[in-house]
Amino acid sequence: MGSNIFVWVEQFKGQPASASWEAIGTARRLADELGGSVTACVFGGEGVEPLAQEAISYGADKALLAEDATLADFRVEPQAALLGKLVREAEPLAVLIGATFRGRELGPALAVELDTGCIADCTALELDGDQLVATRPIYAGKLLSKCVIPERRPQVFTNRVRAFPKPEPDAARSGEVVRVEPVLAEDDIAVKVTGFQATEGGVSLADANIIVSGGRGVGGPEGFEPVQKLAQTLGAAIGASRAAVDAGWIPYEHQVGQTGKTVSPDLYVAAGISGAIQHQAGMRTSKIIVAVNKDPEAPIFKLAHYGIVGDLFKVVPALTAALKKKLG
Amino acid sequence: MEYPLWSLDDVGAEADKVGAAGSGVRWPEVFAPPAREGEAEIIEAETVEESAMLLVDKLLAEKVI
């Protein structure tokens, strides 16, 4: 069994997922400790070749590149079959996959394919000899668990988006790019992608550095207006609590929390959100949390780093104005 | 209504592939996340505008905006 680490590089129409570079950064750190190497797996349609070099610039030693129409739009079967075959051949110690929607599907499928274990949604990964020890949140982040895959190899992990630092790319890094062929033919793949439907514009919650969220306190759909203005000023994504989504004030795709998205931005502004445990589950790992709420007893103030007790319809516009003044 | 009770044989599952024994993952440790240091800093000034300015200064100092 080697001391190499494989990383699956996710892309959508040639655009890479940041979580994959975060995975490569972590794989690099672990491989350096082990004296091993990092192999990036880039599987997509025609035109994904530049991602192989990009993966190397982020820290991979080698990239396995497959360009084929069957791999163009993500489907778990051809990705897992090809990744599984390459992993069986190279016998890496571990496989890292960004815990995006696609990664969360691929990781367990790969583990089944290889008859090994998968530890999902890791927020830390350390070495204990050649055993990787993962930390992952359980019970909506109320507890953390250390997890290991003691006997089976390789160890498969999905890394929570933004939980690991994204390395600085170094264009001067060089590495080998090896072309590989898909394992499944189109006829072998049950799932067909029939098309994509774009949702409204704006910053995606998962990748946002800053998120401004509104809750029950915004009072109605029009109440999101000051929240949107603040978000626009900050270049932030707009989030919402379940209360605001259930009330029909904002679409579900904005929901942060246990039954919505889990986010971990640098800055999370909660406006009119009391901070129920289910909401906290989706945002508690944010680096800095700011709460604006009328109720000084709201649980969100127990989690927040900074708070302003007051009417969000006064405080949020004042924040927008202050930011415009300070940031120019 | 009555729910049928299926055994591993009924669903064709292998005993060594299910339950904790069938999992490749072990949890040697479960612990509470480290408590965040200190309570929230509540920003209070004479006016809402002043509070907002103070908060923006804090966020600039934290380098998150």
Residue B7 — very low, low, confident or very high, per pLDDT cuts 50/70/90? very high
Residue B63: closest CA among chain A residues belongs to which residue? A266
Check if the interface score ipTM surpasses 0.90.
Answer: no
Interface of A with B in 155-214 (CB under 8 A): 209-210
Q: Which residues of B touch A288 (CB under 8 A)?
A: 59, 62, 64
Residue A198 — very low, low, confident or very high, per pLDDT cuts 50/70/90? confident
Order of strands, sheet of A288-293, starting from the edge strand that comes earlier in the sequence:
A237-240, A210-214, A267-271, A288-293, A306-309, B41-42
Q: Do B59 and A290 touch (CB under 8 A)?
A: yes
Interface of A with B in 100-119 (CB under 8 A): 111, 116-119
Per-residue pLDDT, B10: 94
Residue B30: closest CA among chain A residues belongs to which residue? A145
Q: Which residue in A209, A303, A326 is closest to B60 by CB distance? A: A326
Any idea which residue has 């930011």 for tokens? A323
Q: Are A125 and A159 in contact (CB under 8 A)?
A: yes
Residue-wise pLDDT tens digits, A156-166: 999 999 899 99
Q: Could you tell me the pTM of the whole model?
A: 0.84
Q: What's the gap in Å between the CA of B3 and the closest CA on chain A?
A: 28
Residue-wise pLDDT tens digits, A300-321: 999 999 999 999 999 999 999 9
Cα A39 to Cα A96: distance, rounded to the nearest angstrom: 10
Cα A67 to Cα A80: distance, rounded to the nearest angstrom: 15
Q: Do B24 and A111 touch (CB under 8 A)?
A: yes
| Neighbouring residues of A197: CB distance < 8 A, sequence distance ≥ 6 | none
Q: Could you tell me the two tokens for B21?
A: 């024994």
Average pLDDT (A213-228) is 96
Residue-wise pLDDT tens digits, A16-73: 999 999 999 999 999 999 999 999 999 999 999 999 999 999 999 999 999 999 999 9
Q: What one-letter code names the amino acid at A113?
A: E
pLDDT at A264 over 60: yes
Per-residue pLDDT, B37: 64
Helix, strand, or coil (residue A312): helix
Q: What are phi and psi of B11, to 5 degrees?
A: -95, 0
Q: How far, in whole angstroms, is CA A5 from its chain's centroid?
A: 19
Contact of A283 with chain B, judged by CB distance below 8 Å, is answered with no
Task: Give the mean pLDDT of chain A.
Answer: 95
